[in-house]
Amino acid sequence: MASQGSGNPTSELEKVCTVIGRSLAFLCLQNSEAKNRTVLEKAEFLSALGLPFADAAKMLGSTAESLRVMSYKKGKKTKGAASGKKGKGKRGSQ
Gap between the Cα atoms of 86 and 94, Å rounded: 13
Any domain includes 37: yes
Q: Tens of pLDDT along the chain (94 residues)?
A: 444 444 455 789 999 998 999 999 999 999 999 889 999 999 999 999 999 989 999 999 999 999 999 989 988 877 655 555 555 555 555 5
Gap between the Cα atoms of 73 and 78, Å rounded: 9
pTM for the model: 0.66
Any domain includes 31: yes
- Domain of residue 12 covers 8-73
Query: CB neighbours of 68 closer than 8 A, spacing ≥ 6?
Result: 53
Number of domains in the chain: 1
Any domain includes 81: no
Other beta carbons within 10 angstroms of residue 56's beta carbon come to 26
Any domain includes 56: yes
Any domain includes 90: no
Report pLDDT for 81: 56
Any domain includes 88: no
Q: Give the closest residue to 45 by CA, choosing from 56, 59, 55, 54.
A: 56
Any domain includes 94: no
